[in-house]
């Protein structure tokens, strides 16, 4: 299929579901089912354990959920205590600074009408790298 090989495979297609609420809901449902199945297996399977409490049914499931949720909620409370504005340490820190652009190769294609042509993307990338090679040796 020579006509297809001209256009590189677009890996972004793997992730388009994240912007589709219906499909996200479907993935969440799949996760629920997956967890439910694991939980049922845990009830049936006798696992080897180092500690008595670890042996109890659903220990890992509960601790996974509680630990994660607890960390996130506690961290949110911690922020109220330690949050400062971005320039708090400026000028003696990098937080309020812009990264020097001459070190970077910033390319933003959002002005382009449609960003689907990977060929175009490729040419932009190579052009910028070439430019960098000439200009970077200061």
Site for another protein in 72-131 (CB under 8 A): 72-76, 78-79, 82-86, 88-101, 103-110, 112, 115, 121, 124-125, 128-129
- Name the residue nearer to another protein (CB basis): 7 or 47: 47
Residues 14-33 that bind another protein (CB under 8 A): 14-15, 18-19, 28, 31-32
- Say whether residue 40 binds another protein (CB under 8 A): no
Smallest gap from Cβ 3 to another protein, in A, equals 22
Q: Which residues of 30-67 are buried (b: 16+ CB within 10 A; e: fewer)?
A: eeeeeeeeeeeeeeeeeeeeeeeeeeeeeeeeeeeeee
- Dist. CA 89–CA 100, nearest whole Å: 19
- Cβ-based nearer residue to another protein, 2 or 99: 99
| Cα–Cα distance measured from residue 4 to residue 79, given in angstroms and rounded to the nearest whole number | 51
| Nearer to another protein (CB atom), residue 23 or residue 68 | 68
Cα 113 to Cα 109, 116, 117: the distances in Å are: 9, 9, 11
């Amino acid at each position: 299929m020579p006509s297809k090989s001209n256009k590189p495979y677009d890996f972004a297609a793997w992730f388009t579901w994240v912007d589709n609420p219906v499909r996200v809901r479907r993935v969440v449902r799949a996760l629920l089912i997956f967890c439910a199945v694991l939980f049922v297996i845990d009830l049936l399977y006798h696992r080897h354990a180092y500690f008595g409490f670890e042996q109890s049914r659903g220990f890992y499931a509960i601790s996974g959920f509680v630990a994660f949720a607890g960390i996130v909620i506690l961290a949110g409370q911690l922020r109220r205590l330690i949050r400062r504005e971005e320039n708090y340490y400026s000028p003696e820190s990098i937080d309020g600074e812009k990264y020097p652009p001459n070190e970077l190769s910033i390319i933003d294609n959002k002005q382009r009408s449609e960003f689907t042509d990977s060929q175009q993307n490729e040419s932009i990338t190579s052009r910028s790298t070439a430019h960098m090679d000439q200009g970077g040796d200061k």
